[in-house]
């Protein structure tokens, strides 16, 4: 019974995901078509004849009604036929999925690891030493991480650690999957830039959630049994912090993806953010649309996974489904 209910909920969530993606595709496609600029003129350059313009305009299907253009694009998109970039002459699917997406996912994953490694201990320290100098210092670090825009923090880190001290490269990308040492060296500053805001949020949520459970009866009982404080906090206490922490991580993924755009531009990383920014400047509607759809799919997919993990984190939800 519980398994059938879980499968039904999963199927309903997948249907909602497909519907949201469809709505996103319609809105983004319409907005892109309404933006000023003529992609045909960009493709042909400054010197072209009227006949060549009309031919390319027709070949691209731009003379068709907007619903027809959208239908053709959607049919091709779901089949993986995303067309060619007329600037780089690359297949858009190859450019977005095989080249840009791994860079963004690697940057986001490393940034999240840094944010968790710094944010959770800061939040725990602030909760255990409430209203002390440790709490003030940890809260100040959390607020500072939230206060700095990613593009500004990136410029500051480049000026300090790349230009002045020469410790890290200011731009360029090497995949850490191919060369771990060099790749992590190149991604250190971008990951810190992107993870700083997330670190502050994680520290704040951890502190607030842990404060709510420190005086609960089961925590007092664990201390009365003589369990060491580290076990009381990190086993019994953090078990109840996981739910709000996972929720915040899932819901705020959009903020990380938004920050990744500026971070990739500042550090010239060839990820989705850089791809979309370059495509907007050159009026490559197909590339922009692909980037928007991938970003939307990532955001919705992570929220879907977070929703599915609630039952694993909270036994009450598992019991409710029986």
Report how far residue 49's alpha carbon sits from residue 29's, in angstroms, rounded to the nearest whole number.
Answer: 28
Residue 130 and residue 205 share a domain: yes
User: What is the DSSP secondary structure assignment for residue 64, as one 8-state letter?
Assistant: S
Looking at the structure, do residues 275 and 305 belong to the same domain, yes or no?
Answer: yes
Q: Is 186 inside a domain boundary?
A: yes
- Look at residue 200 in the predicted model and tell me its pLDDT: 78
Q: Tell me: do 96 and 149 sit in the same domain.
A: yes
Q: Which two tokens stand for residue 2?
A: 């519980």
User: Is pLDDT of 321 > 50?
Assistant: no
Whether residue 249 sits in one domain with residue 114: yes
One domain for residues 44 and 173: no
Q: Taking phi first (over 0 means left), then psi (-120 to 50 degrees means alpha), and beta for anything else, what does residue 153 get?
A: alpha
Q: In terms of domains, do 130 and 52 share one?
A: no
pLDDT for res 46: 66
Looking at the fold, whether 57 and 141 belong to one and the same domain comes out as no
> With 60 as the cut, is the pLDDT of residue 196 above it?
yes
Among 46, 79, 112, which residue terminates a domain? 79
Residue 187's nearest CA partner among 116, 108, 256 is: 108
- Residues 45 and 107 grouped into a single domain: no
| Bigger pLDDT: 31 vs 314 | 31
Q: pLDDT at residue 299 above 60? A: yes
Q: Which of 29, 50, 79 is where one domain is finished?
A: 79
| Assigned domain for 219 exists | yes
Q: What is the mean pLDDT of residues 191-208?
A: 82
The verdict on 147 and 241 lying in the same domain is yes
158 and 110 share one domain: yes
The token pair at 52 is 């060549």
Tell me, what CATH number does 297's domain have?
1.10.3720.10
Please state whether the predicted TM-score (pTM) of the whole model is above 0.85.
Answer: no
Number of domains in the chain: 2
Q: Which domain holds residue 54?
A: 15-79
Least confident among 107-116, 237-246, 258-267:
237-246
Q: Are residues 73 and 141 in the same domain?
A: no
In a domain, 41, yes or no: yes
Residue 5 lies in a domain: no
With respect to residue 104, please indicate whether it lies within any of the assigned structural domains.
Answer: yes
What are 113-168's pLDDT values in tens digits?
A: 888 888 888 888 887 777 777 777 777 777 776 667 667 778 888 888 888 888 88
* Banded pLDDT at 236 (limits 50, 70, 90): low
User: CA 96, CA 278: separation in Å to the nearest integer?
Assistant: 13
Give 140-182 as a DSSP string.
HHHHHHHHS-HHHHHHHHIIIIIIIS--S-SS----TTT-HHH
Q: Is 60 exceeded by the pLDDT of residue 216?
A: yes
Task: Please indicate, yes or no, whether residues 176 and 311 belong to a single structural domain of this protein.
Answer: yes
Residue 297 buriedness (CB in 10 A; 0-12 / 13-18 / 19+):
middle
CA-based nearest residue to 281, from 37, 92, 23: 37
pLDDT digits (tens, 9 = 90+) for 28-56: 888 777 776 666 776 666 676 777 777 77
Task: Report whether pLDDT(77) > 70.
Answer: yes
User: DSSP letters of 206-271?
Assistant: HHHHHHHHHTSHHHHHHHHTT--HHHIIIIIIHHHHHHHHHHHHHHTHHHHHHHHHHHHHHTT--S
Model pLDDT, residue 262: 78
Q: Where does a domain end: 53, 79, 105?
A: 79
For the chain, what is the mean pLDDT? Answer: 77
> What is the maximum span of the chain, computed from C-alpha positions, in angstroms?
87
Q: Which residue has the tokens 């089949």?
A: 79
How many C-beta neighbours within 10 Å does residue 260 have? 26
């Amino acid at each position: 019974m519980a398994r059938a209910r879980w499968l039904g909920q999963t199927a309903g969530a997948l249907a909602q995901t497909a519907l949201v993606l469809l709505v996103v595709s319609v809105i983004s496609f319409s907005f892109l078509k309404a933006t000023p600029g003529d992609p045909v003129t960009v493709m042909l350059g400054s010197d072209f004849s009227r006949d060549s313009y009309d031919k390319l305009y027709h070949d691209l299907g731009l003379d068709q009604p907007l619903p027809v253009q959208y239908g053709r694009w959607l049919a091709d998109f779901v089949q993986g036929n995303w067309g060619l970039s007329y600037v780089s002459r690359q297949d858009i699917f190859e450019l977005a999925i095989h080249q840009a997406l791994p860079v963004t996912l690697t940057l986001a994953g490393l940034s999240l690891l840094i944010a968790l490694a710094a944010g959770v201990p800061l939040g725990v320290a602030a909760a255990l030493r409430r209203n002390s100098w440790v709490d003030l210092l940890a809260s100040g670090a959390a607020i500072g991480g939230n206060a700095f825009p990613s593009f500004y923090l990136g410029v500051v880190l480049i000026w300090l650690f790349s230009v002045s001290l020469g410790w890290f490269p200011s731009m360029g990308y090497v995949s850490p999957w191919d060369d771990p040492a060099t790749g992590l060296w190149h991604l250190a500053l971008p990951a810190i830039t992107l993870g700083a805001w997330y670190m502050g949020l994680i520290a704040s949520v951890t502190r607030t959630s842990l404060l709510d459970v420190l005086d609960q009866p089961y925590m007092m009982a664990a201390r009365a049994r003589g369990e060491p404080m580290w076990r009381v906090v990190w086993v019994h206490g953090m078990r109840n912090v996981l739910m709000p922490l996972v929720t915040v991580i899932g819901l705020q993924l959009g903020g990380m993806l938004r920050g990744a755009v500026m971070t990739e531009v500042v550090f010239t990383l060839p990820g989705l953010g850089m791809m979309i920014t370059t495509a907007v400047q050159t009026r490559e509607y197909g590339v922009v649309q692909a980037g928007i759809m991938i970003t939307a799919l990532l955001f919705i997919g992570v929220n879907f996974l977070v929703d599915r993990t609630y039952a694993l984190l909270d036994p009450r939800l598992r019991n409710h489904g029986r």
